[in-house]
Amino acid sequence: MGSASLKAIDFFCSGGGMTYGMRLAGIEVIAGIDIDPEVKETYELNNPGTKFILKDICKLNEEDLLKELNIKCNDDRMIFIGCSPCQYWSIIRTNKEKSKKSKDLLKEFHRFIKFYRPGFVVVENVPGIERRSSESGLDEFIEDLKKRGYQIKFDIYNLNEYGVPQTRKRFSLIASRIVTEHIQPEKSNYRPVVKDFIGEHNGFPKVPAGYKDKTDFLHTVSSLSEDNLIAIKNALPGGRPAKKRERFRGGGFRDSYGRMEWDKPAPTITTKFYSLSNGRFGHPEEHRALSLREGATLQTFPKTYKFKAKSKASIARMIGNAVPPEFARRIGEAIIKAYNKLDLR
């Protein structure tokens, strides 16, 4: 028995944060499914042996996976993971019209749960999916899982308590029809902060705004206008610019042009973390925003994780949308621990 016999399919896998963390835990992720062709190379490079399926879940028939992956229904050792794009339910100010198409993806994922009835189900999303649980389909999803005999544990988790150096809060659900106990990830022994992950002492050399790193390390930094350079030079750690604050009022984020602090967790790493105008993404000391690699590292991706895409914005989107691998690893280990208590031989 043991973790080697557990396998998973990662729906909405993107660049592979959840897959990578599950694999670290010892779970065999047999496939990742995503609609975005630009995430394929990143996913496959970092998760060798896991099949990438480029498909729109809305157009994917339940039985298609039987042919594609040779899986079976009612598999006690199967985990279905659904971390659907969450911009529509996010409290961050985004264009909700653009993200409308993705708001019903939990309902699409639900089709596959009903058809295959896997041993375990994992859902990870923004807290807004619970706050608007009727509209998002979460109420119906949970009620149906209960009717099908699943034990369910869900909560809003502060990921800083689970080894992630951010103030990131996420909705996570773990359900099982073969385990009677509630399954949840184990907390870390300490709450990590920015200085635990980035800075010269962690292998990040000082670089100026606009620096382009042509290696796979991707310590690439956005350029700054003269005004923005003045803003970050005047910014105090954790705060907005000390001078000319009126210049930056308007439709921006409340913490725009602020710096992070070494001794505190970073703010939530979003898809725009490389831009000073989209949050408190200023380096604690250097006059610039976070580099691509710093954002990935604060998301707990290893420094060896290779990101491939056509643009800086595409790479940042993969990083910001990811489930932090460290949190995913803890979810995986919690499932393994619960599974190993069973006598299925």
What CA–CA distance (Å, rounded) separates 281 from 287? 11
For 262-280, how does the pLDDT look when each residue is reduced to its tens digit (9 = 90+)? 999 999 999 999 999 888 9
Does 99 have pLDDT greater than 70?
no
**Structural domain boundaries, residue 205:** 198-299
136 and 239 co-located in one domain: no
Q: How far apart are CA 292 and CA 315, in angstroms?
A: 8
Q: How far apart are CA 91 and CA 55, in angstroms?
A: 28
Active site residues: 86
Total count of domains within the chain: 2
pLDDT above 70: residue 141: yes
Q: How far apart are CA 312 and CA 319, in angstroms?
A: 11
Amino acid identity of 82? G
Q: Are 31 and 79 in contact (CB under 8 A)?
A: no
Residue 45 within a domain: yes
Sorting pLDDT into bands at 50, 70 and 90, what band is 137?
Answer: confident
Tell me which residue of 242, 244, 252 sits closest to 272, measured CA to CA: 252
Q: Mean pLDDT, to the nearest integer, of 327-337? A: 97
* Mean pLDDT score, 90-96: 46
What confidence tens digit (pLDDT) does each residue in 193-222 have?
999 999 999 999 999 999 999 999 999 999
Q: Does 230 lie in the same domain as 110?
A: no
Average pLDDT over residues 64-92: 82
Q: Are residues 253 and 335 in the same domain?
A: no
For residues 56-78, give the mean pLDDT.
Answer: 94
Pairwise CA distance, residues 72 & 205, whole Å: 50
Hey, is 30 helix, strand or coil? Answer: strand
Q: pTM above 0.85?
A: yes
Q: How far apart (Å, rounded) are the C-alpha atoms in residues 270 and 7?
A: 29
- Output the pLDDT for position 65: 93
Mean local confidence (pLDDT), 5-25: 97
**How sure is the predictor about 342, in pLDDT bands with cuts at 50, 70 and 90?**
confident
318 lies in some domain? no
Asked if residue 34 has pLDDT above 50, the reply is yes
Residue 43 pLDDT greater than 60, yes or no = yes
Q: Are residues 181 and 205 in the same domain?
A: no
User: Residue 297 class from Cβ within 10 Å (0-12 exposed, 13-18 middle, 19+ buried)?
Assistant: buried
Q: For 132, how many CA atoms within 13 A lie in the half-sphere containing its CB? A: 14
